[in-house]
Amino acid sequence: MAIKPLPNEPELLQKIAEGDEHAFGLLFHHYYRPLGQAVLRLIESRDIAQEIVQDTFINIWHGRAHLKRVTSFSGYLFISCRNQTFAVLKKRAAEKKLQPLVEQQIQWEHEYELEAEEDNSGIYRALLEQAVEKLPEQQKKIYKLSRYQHLKYAEIAQRLGISKETVKTQIYHAVKSIKKELKHHFPVKIAIILTTHLFF
C-alpha cells in the first residue's frame, strides 16, 4: 500500500505527539480513504472496514507520544491497520470454522518491516461498551448483531422479524447515541473525527 505522505508530515507527527487535534484531523482525512479501500478488499464489508480503520486511528491517538520516533508514518499506519484486520478476520474465521481458508485468502503487501505498536484501545473499548449498554434494548440488540456478530442487515431483519429499513434506522440512531456518549470522554474534535462514517 503506497500512499504519498503529506509534504509537512514530520511536522504534523510532532504536533500530534504533543496533542494537536487539528494536525490529527489532517492526517486522518489524508489516509482514511486509501487505507479503508485496502481493508475493504479483504473484509468486503464497509461497516467493518470503517470500524477497523477508525480503531487503528484510535490506537494511534492514544499512543501518539510514540509518533516522535516514527520515520515512516504510512508504514507504521499500514502495520497497525493490518494487525487490526488480521484480528477481525481470525475472529470471523473462528466463528465460522473456516480459519485455514481465510488464512489462504489473506494476502497483504509486505512493503514495510516496522513492528506494530501494542494495542492502546483498551480505554476506548471500555467506554464504547458502556455506551452500547446504555442503548435502548432493541437498538442494543441490533447494534450487537451488526457490529459484534457481523450479521448483514437482511440477516438481522430476518432473525428479529423486522424490516431491513428498521434495522438501518436503529443502527443509525445507535451510532448517533454512541457518538454523543463518547464525546463526553474524548476531546470533541477527536470524537468527531474518529466516529464519523466516511465512505470509501
Identity of the residue numbered 170 = Q
Report the pLDDT value the prediction gives residue 187, as an integer from 0 to 100. 57
Residues of the chain with CATH 1.10.10.10: 121-186
CATH 3.40.50.700 fits 121-186, yes or no: no
Average pLDDT over residues 24-33: 91
**What is the spatial distance between Cα 125 and Cα 122, in angstroms, rounded to a whole number?**
5
Residues of the chain with CATH 1.10.1740.10: 1-120
Q: Topology of 1-120 in CATH?
A: Rna Polymerase Sigma Factor; Chain: A (1.10.1740)
The C-alpha cell of 56 is what?
Answer: 487503528
Site of grid cell 511536522: 11
122-143: per-residue pLDDT in tens? 566 677 788 889 999 999 999 8
Give the predicted TM-score (pTM) of the model.
0.52
